[in-house]
């Protein structure tokens, strides 16, 4: 793979309002890369991957860097950095799963630069926050020239149209939700997750009313482990059931080989990650 | 395309005209002459280009210079007070945490950001704090020890205020 020390030629645009950003993107939908934190985009541009004529930065758009508590949900602006989310008391209190996953992403530098909007919008299998948001049933607000609309994060890549960009993530707050998060990376505190598992369980005691299991490091289209979720629903989460669900998740997951691991090995990892995440969720003190 | 921008580096105000596709690293080193910040992998893996922007550690090789508009940057040149080293720098010297020295500015800036955020880190927290920095000669044991020593030194009340160098950095204002 080629790697250049300098960035290629491009034009930098930094609109000062949402409206301005939407109309610029509407005018040049296929010639523009939207930039949030820049950690993924600039890296890829140095590799000369996906270089387009314009880079539109959202840094100057006001109001995209706030975390707000609304009734029943936490609203996170797309330009809020991963470290800010990991540290925010409201996120730690209300969406423990998201705070934990943010704290485990990348390195201090990457967490200080990278944003939730960038992680969600980049459409890479390695995006670690996406499975977490899917498990939490989060939604994303998309802005476009015709106004904004809200779609579920799970459907985001199918829904997003040319000229639209993510402005906000809405995370529902559910009382009594237990969670677990496991990430497996070559260097735990540095690398992207080779695979990861995020689980959110609704129920009382060990009996599971509803379960959401989402996986990282799997190839799209789906990150949900639906059959595993069905196995858990309405049943008591014994170790045996957890293993059964983890096996189903691994069996159904689409994995691809990379430079380090085969697709089969990743399936094994998924099995272990899902069962560990579920065990985490049923261990005491994991509500909220 | 060139644009005018203003920012503060080590307490000094700069107004520069930069090409919008230049990284902060390139502008620090080539325009301002602040070559303490190192260019190594240039792709965010090694941490050699770490600087502190508005109190947070960032990789200057993956930051567009133009996006540092209005920000306060602290580089390795901004740590020492004249000829008196910053406690972290002093600890690196005393612990033998420097060999070829090329990764050192990045490590020290990561350590500074860590200790600003958490003045009493555990060994694990230190390792986590320097996870984005790579050293290929000293190894990491002495570096971790140096940061532990610096944390101990900095815990004692030091009268010396933390400020930029009394000497002007190279390059000067443009």
Identify each DSSP E strand in A145-186 by its residue range.
147-152, 165-172, 177-184
**Is B74 in the same domain as B105?**
no
Interface contact flag, B129 A8, Cβ < 8 Å: no
**Is B101 in the same domain as B37?**
no
Among candidate residues B78, B100, B115, the one where a domain is terminated: B78
Question: What pLDDT, on a 0 to 100 scale, did the predictor assign at position A126?
Answer: 86
In a domain, B58, yes or no: yes
Q: Is the pLDDT of residue B153 over 90?
A: yes
Residue B61: which of A4, A98, A134 has the closest Cα? A4
Question: Is some CB atom of chain A closer than 8 A to the CB atom of B159?
Answer: no
Are the CB atoms for A165 and A143 separated by under 8 Å? Answer: yes
Name which of A40, A44, A109 to mutate to probe chain B: the one with the most chain B Cβ atoms within 10 A of its Cβ: A109
Q: Is the pLDDT of residue B166 over 60?
A: no
Residue B128: closest C-alpha in chain A? A189
Summary count for chain A: helices (H), strands (E) = 12, 11
Confidence at A188, pLDDT banded by 50, 70, 90: confident
Tell me the domains of chain A and their CATH numbers: 11-57 (3.30.43.10), 67-172 (3.30.465.10), 177-282 (3.30.390.50)
Residue B39: closest C-alpha in chain A? A5
Chain-centre distance of CA B64, in angstroms?
A: 17
Are the CB atoms for A94 and A81 separated by under 8 Å? Answer: no
In a domain, B62, yes or no: yes
Range of the domain at B64: 2-78
Interface contact flag, A109 B128, Cβ < 8 Å: no
Q: Is the pLDDT of residue B163 over 60?
A: no
Interface contact flag, B132 A39, Cβ < 8 Å: no
User: Could you give the strand order of the β-sheet that contains A207-216, starting from the edge strand earlier in sequence?
Assistant: A177-184, A195-204, A207-216
Q: Which of A9-13, A281-285, B10-14, B100-104 has the lowest mean pLDDT?
A: A281-285
Q: Which of A208-217, A220-229, B30-39, B43-52 has the lowest mean pLDDT?
A: A220-229
Among candidate residues B46, B78, B110, the one where a domain is terminated: B78
**Is B150 in the same domain as B103?**
yes
Distance to chain B for A82, nearest Cα, Å: 12
Interface contact flag, B58 A113, Cβ < 8 Å: yes
Interface contact flag, B58 A187, Cβ < 8 Å: no
Give dist(CA B127, CA B146) in Å, integer.
12
Mean pLDDT for B150-154 is 95
Are the CB atoms for B23 and B63 separated by under 8 Å? Answer: yes
| Cα distances (Å, whole numbers) of residue A128 to A114, A123, A156, A182, A282 | 12, 11, 15, 11, 22
Three-class SS of residue B95?
A: coil
**Is B69 in the same domain as B98?**
no
**Is B72 in the same domain as B93?**
no
Confidence at A203, pLDDT banded by 50, 70, 90: confident
In a domain, B173, yes or no: no
In a domain, B92, yes or no: yes
**Is B131 in the same domain as B94?**
yes
Q: Quick one: what percent of chain B has pLDDT higher than 90? A: 86
**Is B68 in the same domain as B23?**
yes
Mean residue pLDDT across chain B:
91
Across A202-224, b (16+ Cβ under 10 Å) vs e yields ebeeeebeebbbbbbbbeeeebb
Paired strand residues for B57: B52
B85's enclosing H/E stretch is none
Question: Is some CB atom of chain A closer than 8 A to the CB atom of B42?
Answer: yes
Q: A with B: how many residue pairs have Cβ under 8 Å apart?
A: 78
Q: Chain B residues with CB inside 8 Å of A43's CB? A: 43-44, 62
pLDDT tens digits, B108-143: 999 999 999 999 999 999 999 999 999 998 789 999
Give dist(CA A220, CA A254) in Å, integer.
8
Distance to chain A for B117, nearest Cα, Å: 11
Distance to chain B for A64, nearest Cα, Å: 16
Q: What is the DSSP letter of A194?
A: S
Q: Chain B residues with CB inside 8 Å of A83's CB? A: 56
ipTM confidence: 0.92
Question: What pLDDT, on a 0 to 100 scale, did the predictor assign at position B89?
Answer: 98
Question: What pLDDT, on a 0 to 100 scale, did the predictor assign at position B170?
Answer: 47
Termini Cα distance of chain B = 18
Mean pLDDT for A74-96 is 97
pLDDT tens digits, B69-114: 999 999 999 999 999 999 999 999 999 999 999 999 999 999 999 9
**Is B100 in the same domain as B148?**
yes
**Token reading at B147:** 């940061």
In a domain, B39, yes or no: yes
What would you report as the CA-atom Rg of chain A, rounded to the nearest whole angstrom?
Answer: 19
Interface contact flag, A113 B63, Cβ < 8 Å: yes
**Is B6 in the same domain as B74?**
yes
**Is B62 in the same domain as B92?**
no
User: How many domains does the structure of chain B reveal?
Assistant: 2
Interface contact flag, B44 A112, Cβ < 8 Å: no
Across A189-199, b (16+ Cβ under 10 Å) vs e yields bbbbbbbbbbb
In a domain, B50, yes or no: yes
Q: Is the pLDDT of residue A130 over 50?
A: yes
pLDDT tens digits, A166-180: 999 999 999 889 999
């Amino acid at each position: 793979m080629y790697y250049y020390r300098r960035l290629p030629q491009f034009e930098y645009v930094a609109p000062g309002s949402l409206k301005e950003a939407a109309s610029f993107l509407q005018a040049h939908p296929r010639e523009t890369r939207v930039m949030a934190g820049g950690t993924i985009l600039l890296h890829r541009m140095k590799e000369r991957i996906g270089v387009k004529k314009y880079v539109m930065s959202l840094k100057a758009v006001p109001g995209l860097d706030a975390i707000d508590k609304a009734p029943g949900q936490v609203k996170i602006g797309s330009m809020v950095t991963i470290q800010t989310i990991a540290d925010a008391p409201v996120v730690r209190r209300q969406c423990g799963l998201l705070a934990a996953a943010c704290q485990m992403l990348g390195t201090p530098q990457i967490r200080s630069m990278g944003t939730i909007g960038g992680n969600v919008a980049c459409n890479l299998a390695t995006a670690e926050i996406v499975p977490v948001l899917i498990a939490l049933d989060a939604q994303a607000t998309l802005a476009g020239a015709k106004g904004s609309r809200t779609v579920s994060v799970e459907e985001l890549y199918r829904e997003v149209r040319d000229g639209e960009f993510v402005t906000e993530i809405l995370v529902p707050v559910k009382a009594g939700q237990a969670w677990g998060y496991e990430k497996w990376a070559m260097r735990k505190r540095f690398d992207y997750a080779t695979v990861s598992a995020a689980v959110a369980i609704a129920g009382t005691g060990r009996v599971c009313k509803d379960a959401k299991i989402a996986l990282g490091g799997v190839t799209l289209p789906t990150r949900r482990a639906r059959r595993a979720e069905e196995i858990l629903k309405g049943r008591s989460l014994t170790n045996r059931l957890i293993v059964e669900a983890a096996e189903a998740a691994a069996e159904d997951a689409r994995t691809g080989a990379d430079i380090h691991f085969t697709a089969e090995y990743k399936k094994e990892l998924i099995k272990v990650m899902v069962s560990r995440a579920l065990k985490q969720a049923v261990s005491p003190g994991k509500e909220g | 395309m060139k644009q005018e921008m203003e920012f503060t580096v080590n307490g000094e105000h700069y107004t520069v005209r930069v090409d919008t596709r230049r990284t902060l690293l390139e502008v620090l080193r080539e325009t301002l002459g602040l070559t303490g910040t190192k260019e190594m992998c240039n792709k965010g893996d090694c941490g050699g280009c770490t600087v502190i922007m508005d109190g947070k550690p960032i990789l200057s090789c993956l930051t567009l210079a133009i996006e540092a508009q209005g920000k306060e940057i602290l580089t390795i040149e901004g740590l020492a007070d004249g000829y008196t080293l910053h406690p972290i720098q002093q600890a690196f010297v005393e612990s033998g945490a420097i060999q070829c020295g090329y990764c050192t500015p990045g490590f020290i800036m990561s350590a500074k950001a860590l200790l600003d955020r958490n003045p009493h880190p555990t060994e694990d927290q230190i390792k986590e704090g320097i996870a984005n920095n790579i050293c290929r000669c000293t190894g990491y044991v002495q570096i971790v020890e140096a940061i532990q020593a610096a944390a101990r030194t900095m815990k004692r009340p030091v009268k010396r205020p933390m400020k930029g160098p009394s000497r002007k950095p190279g390059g000067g204002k443009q």
